[in-house]
A and B are shown apart, each in its own frame.
Chain A
Amino acid sequence: EVQLVESGGGLVQPGTSLRLSCAASGFIFSSYSMNWVRQAPGKGLEWVSYISSSSSTIYYADSVKGRLTISRDNAKNSLYLQMNNLRAEDTAVYYCAREEVYGDYDWFDPWGQGTLVTVSS
């Protein structure tokens, strides 16, 4: 079964750091690009970051550029999101999602169950 399991969320103070992890199983992790998507409480989905299968290409949303860093360890089948200088507006459930590609088209499937990050003093 293809599965993504996030961990590492919690309650942190503004200005501090947190590292999220996403453990992948049931597929060849090293063959897929991966994404982080977040959802603030009661709000919609916001794409956060993308990393290609070999880590050669990385993208960030403008809202997180310079503070969040995506990485992966293909040997450990794991995706990471290092979050620095956290702000209240970073409060959200963070999902990791596998990117499926067919020709020029791509979509996110599956998604992990999410991990909640709360930034508050």
Chain B
Amino acid sequence: DIQMTQSPSSLSASVGDRVTITCRASQSISGYLNWYQQKPGKAPKLLIYPASSLQSGVPSRFSGSGSGTDFTLTISSLQPEDFATYYCQQNYIAPRTFGQGTKLEIK
């Protein structure tokens, strides 16, 4: 199975900050990478697919980049509603493995 490793596992930031979350795959997955946002007690929500396309309705302050083994999710200017946990997921090969998550907290 492909292992997905996110860093950091948790992050404290302030409203207005620029934040970058990294996802690394254990082997090359080309651009087959999705990002999800999950708020406490809620289902995950698709943000970005594959690697850099913004899901409809997702604010443009979110962006994704990367290819091969290294990917990033960037939030250009944090808003209060962005404090959540973020997961990457590879869809290069079955099983569709997820990263362990990055919890974004208010500083």
CB contacts (< 8 Å) of A44 on chain B: these are: 87, 98-101
1/0 contact trace for A90-121 toward B, CB 8 Å?
00000100001000111111111110000000
**Chain B interface mostly helix, strand, loop or mixed?**
loop
B interface residues, how many (CB within 8 angstroms): 24
Complex CA distance for A114 and B99, rounded to whole angstroms: 20
Which residues on the B side are within 8 Å of A111 (C-beta)?
A: 43-45
Mind listing 30 A-B residue pairs with CB under 8 Å?
A37-B44, A44-B98, A44-B99, A44-B100, A44-B101, A45-B36, A45-B44, A45-B87, A47-B95, A47-B97, A61-B95, A95-B44, A104-B32, A105-B91, A106-B91, A107-B46, A107-B49, A107-B50, A107-B91, A108-B34, A108-B36, A108-B44, A109-B46, A109-B49, A109-B55, A110-B45, A112-B43, A113-B42, A113-B43, A114-B43
Task: List the 7 closest pairs (A to B, CB-CB), nearest first.
Answer: A111-B43, A109-B46, A107-B49, A105-B50, A45-B98, A107-B34, A44-B101
